Structure 1
């Protein structure tokens, strides 16, 4: 029997259907676009779906999704220390993996002997935030709605921008450890000036994965660390270094650096002042 000839374009058709299914699944578990970091409830499996969809697209087309490369793809870096991360230059990938995306906590730092805890490091001589550590658990998560923020971190010179087709603010008061994880709100040691895209979707997506995991594993712990990265005496952070590891499982594991940048804005990191091209 002669072989049936494959109809031209069928591979692309199957690809479109497959990706559409994946996108449909992801959209049902995504955040609701809220500016704060206390209400998103993304499924912890979402990054795997996103990476699988992107992998399929690349394997068939032989390229990357350049239209969304600034916000959805993740790069990598050999930088590891805070000073090395501070000297990185943003090159169209806002999130880069550090140490191959593997956290670097020691066994002592992963100890659960004292139960859940949270720690916010002292401000430095320039009044800048310096970092936060925690052993997260469901017991630390708040039940009350977040109240409005009023603390103004260093570099806070806000203005309106157009972002993703909507009028928004250039800066957010960004929690180092999101409110949805510990209930910390107007704590000066836990707030930095972060761009809209750094705060959400950048940090918020990772925070929501952790929150979703803790809600579904109420007896488990997640070791968590966030370090703002400043260059020299600049008042606005160049980015944030985030890493987390669920203890006793492999479900939460990441080590990433997020650049504190915003499309359409030229930022003076020394002061936090900016020029916006699409206001």
Structure 2
């Protein structure tokens, strides 16, 4: 997470909700969790009188999976953070994308940051692979350019207020867990989950409420927040980390849907036309076969000597099966039928001198 907190960003008077024993629960307007995503289990660390920092190992796709810290105000790092990072987390790409400024002018800014899970102001970790994921600048700092500490959709809001909480409660401990939430094998997390709870000096849990409508009740008295790793000016491919620039993401998505719908409609129309053509061809072939069988029957009848006794047709001589049926010339069988057989259409008559034969 980008952690250079500008002191020019002033936090308004802020009061955390602290209740001992029976704790006041936060009340989210709705849940922002995407249930299709997975990540490490949310669970506060056990109370300790010393700082705890636990970074889970990267997975088989080299993705960071979880970062967890428990500290007091006095455990915060005092060294100044280095400005540049060199490690590229899984799925790392970057783009200077256009965006529209408040005055209507178009400018460009970097889409992604190498985002710390647990911020430097708590952990003192900078170029640590287990603590870095690609995050949009909007998720990280609350703005496409610079910072907006009032944006409750961004990590900066919660980091600033948790830092203020620690400063206001120097004898307490903050338990803070940050988890990237992935969809299957995608390289970029679609969401970042924050989970935080306090401990007083006796080890009793203290509920922390940062007055955000996105806060939900988590496991073991923790407060949980789900933040989306997206940007108003980009459509992101989370599988690869690539992205497309758009000043109007909803319009671009609508165009994509319209193109997909048209392609689907065209494919359905073609399939319907092909099916109709095939049905017409089958009907034409059946008609031709039936006419050929009738013609052959007429020719056979015309060639019969007047003295010959022609038996009256019976239903056994009509193909009543509803499908084409094989007729083989008398004296031949299925194995020797080549050149001495024909297929009779449904309703067609068995030619004279032929017998029905199933393969």
TM-score by length of 2: 0.50
Q: CA deviation at 1:75?
A: 5.4
Distance, in Å, in 1 between the alignment partners of 2:32 and 2:176 is 21
> Taking structure 1 as reference, are residues 163 and 176 closer, same or farther at Cα in structure 2, changes over 3 Å only?
farther
5+ residue gaps, structure 1: 1-34, 49-73, 88-103
Q: 1:171 and 2:112 equivalent?
A: yes
Match of 1:210 among 162, 173, 178: 162
Equivalent residue number for residue 226 of structure 1: 178
Q: CA deviation at 1:78?
A: 7.7
Equivalent residue number for residue 128 of structure 1: 63
> Taking structure 1 as reference, are residues 151 and 77 closer, same or farther at Cα in structure 2, changes over 3 Å only?
same
Given that 1:141 and 1:181 are in contact with CA atoms closer than 8 Å, whether structure 2 keeps it comes out as: yes
Equivalent residue number for residue 118 of structure 1: 53
Answer 1 or 2: higher relative contact order, Cα 8 Å, separation at least 6: 1
Q: CA deviation at 1:215?
A: 2.0
Spell out, residue by residue over 1:211-238, the C-alpha distance to the aligned partner (whole angstroms, 9 max, x if none).
1121232221011111101111111111
Alpha-carbon RMSD: 2.9
Distance, in Å, in 1 between the alignment partners of 2:197 and 2:61 is 31
Q: CA deviation at 1:134?
A: 1.2
Q: 1:86 and 2:37 equivalent?
A: yes
Partner SS, residue 239 of structure 2: coil
5+ residue gaps, structure 2: 17-27, 102-106, 143-153, 201-205, 211-222, 249-359
Distance, in Å, in 2 between the alignment partners of 1:259 and 1:78 is 9
> Taking structure 1 as reference, are residues 118 and 244 closer, same or farther at Cα in structure 2, changes over 3 Å only?
same
Partner SS, residue 76 of structure 1: coil
Match of 1:186 among 127, 137, 162: 127
Match of 1:76 among 2, 5, 30: 30
Distance, in Å, in 1 between the alignment partners of 2:173 and 2:240 is 38
Distance, in Å, in 2 between the alignment partners of 1:225 and 1:40 is 23
Match of 2:232 among 263, 270, 278: 263
Q: 1:155 and 2:121 equivalent?
A: no
How many residue pairs get aligned? The number is: 199
Q: Please identify which structure carries the higher helix content.
A: 1
Q: Structure 1: which 4+ aligned runs deviate by more than 6 Å? A: none
